[in-house]
Amino acid sequence: MTRLAVLVSGQGRNLQAILDALRDGRIPARAACIVSNRSAAPALDRARQAGVPAIVLEAEGRDRAAYDAALTAGLERHGVELIAMAGFMRVLSDGFIERWRGRMLNIHPSLLPRHTGLHTHRRVLDEGDPEHGASVHYVTEKLDGGPVVIQGRFTVGPQDDERTLAAKVMQDVELKIFPQALAWCARGELRCDGARVLFRGRALAAPLGLEDLEPAFR
């Protein structure tokens, strides 16, 4: 079975959804390890609870190349084949991205290519976007710019504020689309071929959506 690593920095709600899907077999993979760049990340408790090896790798005193080399060494030690970036708040070096090309998925809280980077909910409100959501994409050298696999979207209402948008993005979208995308990867149904996403052998013309979720991920 595919050996999956999850990279985290924070609360780990996405991590928990992934761990739950691994445990009940919806993602046919093994949790090889969890890596956090923050020793205080609540996500680490979730890893320990699930009995998955947790690695804390803080940046202190290391430059980016040294950090990423240590990260790759840790992942290789655990035999990792697939990486889920679930709220990992570090920019990765080009060398790291090359090493793991086509094997690394990230979740981002916006409808990419809109709103790369931080504070996406605030920017949706400031710019009066009619819709908001989240995206799972392959990681490339372009920050939040790799090929998008699946997006979930919803209409922004007049009552929405940053808090309600954040809750909807997490509950209604992220916690569904990330485990689903990882399940497709683990089954060998999803691949990245340069700029294109191949789903069940065919290049996607547009990202998949909530309507494509299998019943087990809805």
- Any idea which residues carry the catalytic annotation? 108
By CB neighbour count within 10 A (0-12 exposed, 13-18 middle, 19+ buried), where does 112 fall?
buried
Minimum Å gap between C-beta 213 and ligand GRF is: 17
Minimum Å gap between C-beta 16 and ligand GRF is: 8
Residue closer to ligand GRF by CB (options 15, 47) is 15
Which three-class secondary structure state does DSSP give residue 184?
helix
Q: Assess 152 for contact with ligand GRF (CB under 6 A).
A: no
Residue closer to ligand GRF by CB (options 87, 179) is 87
Which three-class secondary structure state does DSSP give residue 173?
helix
Work out which of 35, 87, 93, 183 binds ligand GRF, going by CB under 6 A: 87
Which three-class secondary structure state does DSSP give residue 20?
helix
Tell me which residues in 167-186 interact with ligand GRF (CB under 6 A). 170, 174
Phi/psi at 23 (5° precision) = -60, -40
Q: Assess 121 for contact with ligand GRF (CB under 6 A).
A: no
Q: How many angstroms separate the CA atoms of 195 and 208, rounded?
A: 15
| Strands lying side by side in the sheet with 54-56 | 54-56, 29-36, 2-8, 82-85, 104-108, 131-138, 148-155
Minimum Å gap between C-beta 106 and ligand GRF is: 7
Work out which of 27, 31, 34, 43 binds ligand GRF, going by CB under 6 A: 43
Minimum Å gap between C-beta 169 and ligand GRF is: 6
Q: Assess 14 for contact with ligand GRF (CB under 6 A).
A: yes
- Return the residue nearest ligand GRF (CB atom): 87
- What single DSSP character describes residue 208? B
Amino acid at 74: G
Residue matched to tokens 């739950």: 20
Minimum Å gap between C-beta 176 and ligand GRF is: 13
- What single DSSP character describes residue 122? H
Work out which of 10, 28, 53, 74 binds ligand GRF, going by CB under 6 A: 10
Residues in contact with ligand GRF by the rule CB under 6 A: 8, 10-15, 43, 86-87, 107-109, 170, 174
